[in-house]
Amino acid sequence: RKGAPQGLLDGVPTSIKDLLLTQGWPTLRGSKTVDRKGPWNDDAPAVARLREHGAVLLGKTTTPEFGWKGVTDNPLTGITRNPWNPKLTPGGSSGGGAAAVAAGMGPLTLGTDGGGSIRIPCAFSGLFGLKPSFGRVPAWPLSPFGTVAHVGPMTRSVADAALMLNVLSLPDARDWFALPPDGRDYRIGLDDGVKGLRIAYSADLGYAEVEPEIAAIVKRAALRLAELGAHLEEADPGFENAGPMFATHWFAGAASLLKNFTPAQRKLIDPGLREVAAEGAKISALDYLDAVQKRGQLGVLMNRFHEKFDLLLTPTLPLAAFEAGREVAHLLKEKRWTDWSPFSYPFNLTQQPAASMPCGLTKSGLPVGLHIVGPRYADALVLRAARAFESLQPIATPDVSKLAK
């Protein structure tokens, strides 16, 4: 319409997760408690950058209510389903965007990740997704879940994610936590490969239970990077399950989110979110600060680990996509979504860049994700490793023609 090039994403159809403010469109966050009338006068920083660079914004994508869990269903829009098998979940909380891109409804979607919410749906839906280093992509307003929450790209190729990150990482003064812009073009060096890199592979981080088929597929993927010249070694970082520490941060965030809701509003909320918020309300200031201290210790441990290893590989998830409309699969004795996502949230706590790269299909034809974790600020290295794997095994897509039958 403007008759001149606007930027790096001119004309590219792009969808936006419905947690991110979008000028002129309601941001309902999957909740019946949000007033649709607005006003809706602001773009979130990432949305503003996409608009400035010519992206064609298709619409808002579904999320669990306020992005609270690792699957996508909510009281407002119901259940979101997986294009690989509509009986199954696409994961969450960026599940609507994952389903859209996997189904071919535009090549790019903008997601958020507070405990795995980019990487989980990318693993379940067969996409590439990057949780950048915290602060790499400016965010505003600050998530109610605090500094575990990140914003990042979800795409059908690594190169598309690198291009998208060039746009998303541009500065915005509204984010006090944002990193100084590095002016980097993340496409440069993308094809430099992994030869000579020191890569650790951990099947279970020393504590996670993983379905054998998933473990075998991910191990084969790790060995393929070794075939490209990486020095691969089986090694665990050495931390205990970070689930309790993450739950303290996440549940307290849920309690803060709902603290001013009226009784009438609370009745409209997803019961699971109400339960998590009730648990969070019991957390004392001392308990929370203890979790903050432990978080710092975890970060130091990972800094030291990366003095020896350039990258860490794990499964993105210990299982494949399960039945839509439920929070847990009941395959691994889970009680909450965090019980079946043990590989993702530790690196929200440490704020490291982490990506999910499709690395194969189960015997039943469901995608499996390879989790690639880099040192803080080494976003380009994570992209480079993912691209190296992609050069051997391009990303597969579902046969959506079957969905119409």
Distance between CA atoms of 37 and 21, rounded to whole angstroms? 14
93 classed as catalytic: yes
Distances (CA, A) of 178 to 42, 135, 183, 290, 373: 18, 4, 14, 25, 20
DSSP class of residue 386? H
* Amino acid (1-letter code) at residue 258: L
391 classed as catalytic: no
Annotated catalytic residue within 15, 17, 60, 169: 17
Annotated catalytic residue within 93, 94, 202, 341: 93
Starting at the edge strand that comes first in sequence, how are the strands of the sheet with 354-361 ordered?
Answer: 56-61, 13-17, 108-113, 150-155, 128-131, 354-361, 367-373, 311-315, 198-201, 231-234
Annotated catalytic residue within 15, 94, 117, 356: 117
Tally DSSP H helices, then E strands, for the chain.
11, 12
DSSP class of residue 75? T
> Is 369 strand, coil or helix?
strand
* Amino acid (1-letter code) at residue 133: S
17 classed as catalytic: yes
DSSP class of residue 17? E
* Amino acid (1-letter code) at residue 177: F
Structure tokens given for 340: 């079946």
| Residues classed as catalytic | 17, 93, 117
